[in-house]
Structures are given as C-alpha cells and as structure tokens.
Amino acid sequence: MFKKSLILSTALFVALASVAEAQDRYGNRPPVVVSPDLTAPWVMQLGVQAAPGVYRKRQPQAVAPQRRTATRNMRVREPMRQLPGVFARPQAQPVAMVRPQKPAARQIDPQFLPQTVAYDTNEKTGTIVIDTNNRFLYLVTGKGEARRYGVGVGKPGFEWAGSHKITRKAEWPTWRPPSEMIAREAAKGHYLPASMEGGPANPLGARAMYLGSTLYRIHGTNAPWSIGYAVSSGCIRMRNEDVVDLYERVPVGTKVVVI
C-alpha cells in the first residue's frame, strides 16, 4: 500500500513539474511583431517589440555628380555588345541620323569619251559616220583619222540605217514628242507633254541636229549615263559637252551615214 502511494506521488510530482516548465517556457513569450510598412521586409521579432517604421525602406539621397578627369590608367568601359542569335534585336538608329543613299551614278566608259583615232574610210572629210553596233560616231577629219564620240542608239525595234543630211540645227531645242511616242508611252503609264521648252531637263539636251525630213536627230541628253547603250527611240544621243563640240564643227548640209 505504501509502495503504491509512493508511485502515485512520484507521478503526480512529475506531471506538476512538466506543467510548470511548460508555463515557464511559453507563458512569457513576447508577441510576434510584423512591420506595418508593407514595403519593408516582414520580420518576426522574438525580442523586444520594435517601434513602427524601424524597417521602413530608406529613400536614396540625391548626390551631385562628380566630374571625373580621365587619366592614363583609367579604363573606359565599352558598351555592351549583343551577340547575334534568335533573340538578337537590331540596333535602331535615330531617323534624323539616317542619311538617304543616293543611287550611284553610272560612270561612262573611257572609250566613249571624245578622242582622235585612226579611221580608214572612203567618205569625204567632214562626213559623219555613225556605227550603231559599236555605239560610236565618227567625224572624218582626213589623213586616215577621225574624231570619235560615244553615242546612245535606238533600242531593239527602233534600229535604222541610211544616209541623210543635216537640215537644221538648234541650241537648247524645244522637244515635241511625236504622237506615236506619246501613245506608246501612255500605254505604259508614262504620260508625255505635248512640248517641253529647252533646258537641262529636256531630253534633247543642249543641241540638236535634224536629219533630213525624218523624226531622227543627233542631240544631247539629260541622261549622260545612257551613252554606250541602245536606249533611244531611234535618235542618236550624245553627252551635252560632246554634242556642243560636234555642233560647232559641222554646218547644215553635212552628210550623215548611219550603219
């Protein structure tokens, strides 16, 4: 009986001691405090309660920029370069900095510049011979020589050959396209004027020499890069400086042979 009472007393003592220890451990636990500022970190405090705003994020203070003097040992940071790849983005350039690209002007072949060449022909001195296949105009000067110029000739379907005389000469001539040309160009969507006064924009250029009673002429051009090509509607075109030179060398009545 005594032994049983001792066991019960011991168990009761242990239970009371456990309760006391639990009360001592958890009874005085400080409350959890969460910062009222939602922009600050959520901090669980197990010690003394912190005042509101302790964890408020500090606002950065404006600092006046300091001028740095470049020195010999200072390393210059290079701009980051983006490697080409699937996600690579092209570098944009401000519109104001983009310069329009002008089309490259076609340079005339030096062989088409005026020059004196050996030329064997039965034509008399002063005769003009036009070789449409090779795009050359020869002014026979005699003694087996001729002054040669580069020319533009009729495009496919507009070639012709024959012999005529210069019947009229004109400086900065007015261009009056024939009705056939106007209709032909209108079918392509190009509408030509009934006439155009002489000037730098005029297709006949600075000078014109009319051949017989035909619609063909030896004339200048507003497209000097076309010299050496078959591009005209049958007329023989020259650079403006070249047609002026030829114009001063030949009179009305000069024989012109087109081959």
Query: Catalytic site residues?
Result: 219, 235
The DSSP symbol for 240 reads: H
Structure token digits, residue 119: 């030329």
Amino acid 133 reads N
Strands ordered across the beta sheet of 128-131: 115-118, 145-150, 136-142, 128-131, 255-258, 162-171, 207-211, 217-219, 236-237
Residue 203 and residue 174 in contact, taking contact as beta carbons nearer than 8 Å? no
The three-state secondary structure class of 81 is coil
Paired residues of 136 in beta bridges: 131, 150
Environment class of residue 252 by beta-carbon count within 10 Å: exposed (0-12), middle (13-18) or buried (19+)?
exposed
DSSP character string of 217-231: EEE--S-GGGTTSEE
Paired residues of 129 in beta bridges: 138, 257
Handedness of CA 120, 125, 215, 224 (dihedral sign): positive
Nearest to 206 by CA among 224, 223, 219: 219
Structure token digits, residue 188: 């392509």
